[in-house]
A and B are shown apart, each in its own frame.
Chain A
């Protein structure tokens, strides 16, 4: 059974810092991995989608990497800003079952 874990569960950093969020999954049989952000009480906003054949994707200050064989993905946020404060979720699309399995989330707070 696929399990997706995110570490740390919460993170508080000063503005301007570069930071790394981690996502681990137990079953490497995935189609893709997607990173989302969620603001309190809101829906999810897609940040980056990495296909299983890809190693990384970049969008602005965000860079996501995927190491399928070791079951890990990282989301790198450069020069963090208070507007980056949100919960970040990773999700894997599982081969054969076609189900999307979400991680536990990392709650990020960036203070001025």
Chain B
């Protein structure tokens, strides 16, 4: 059974650009959540999607957005990149139906560097 797949694994952007990251969940999982990991702030919740609807959102500015497609694949977008957006972006999928009560399975992450 394939795990959670994130692409691209590494990318370098410059300030002001925008970036789109992709996440394919484990087959059958309908919940996809996104996290930002930095040395200073640790792991922080960005948002969670279930059946193409954003169910929950963390405390990030509107430059961070996401969406989920009918096949449960998800994308997140960051516009007008800032140096502080450099981080490892992790995606996780879960089988849970109603809430984030199920076991989370993480991808390897997308490491974004903003120059």
Distance between A96 CB and nearest chain B CB, rounded to angstroms = 10
B45 touches A46 (CB 8 A): no
Interface residues as binary, A59-73 with B (CB distance below 8 Å gives 1, 0 otherwise):
000000000000000
Q: Give min CB distance, B9 to chain A, whole Å.
A: 10
What's the tally of chain A residues with a CB closer than 8 Å to chain B?
Answer: 24
A52 to chain B, nearest CB (A): 9
Question: Do the beta carbons of A101 and B45 come within 8 Å of each other?
Answer: yes
Which residue in B33, B44, B48, B108 is a CB contact (below 8 Å) of A42? B108
Let me know if B100 and A102 touch, CB within 8 A.
no
- Residues of chain A from 42 to 57 with CB closer than 8 A to chain B in the complex: 42-46, 49, 51
Structural contact, B56 and A104, CB atoms closer than 8 A: no
A45–B106 touching, CB < 8 Å? yes
User: Which residues in B have their C-beta under 8 angstroms from that of A44?
Assistant: 90, 92, 104, 106
Partner of B101, one of A41, A42, A93: A93
> What total of chain B residues lie within 8 Å of the partner, measured CB to CB?
27
Contacts of B6 in A (CB 8 A): 43
Task: Tell me the dominant secondary structure on chain A's binding face.
Answer: strand
CB of A31 within 8 A of CB of B90, answer: no
- Give the distance to chain A from B26, nearest Cβ to Cβ, in Å: 12
Q: In the bound complex, what is the Cα–Cα distance between A41 and B48 (angstroms)?
A: 23
State the CA gap A43–B58 with chains docked (Å): 20
Q: Give me the interface of B with A, judged by CB distance under 8 Å.
A: 4, 6, 33, 35, 42-45, 48, 55-56, 58, 88, 90, 92, 99-109, 111
| Contacts from A to B (Cβ < 8 Å) | 31-32, 34, 36, 41-46, 49, 51, 89, 91, 93, 97-105
Q: What 5 additional pairs, Cβ within 8 angstroms, besides A46-B104, A99-B58, A103-B42?
A: A43-B90, A44-B104, A93-B99, A100-B35, A104-B42
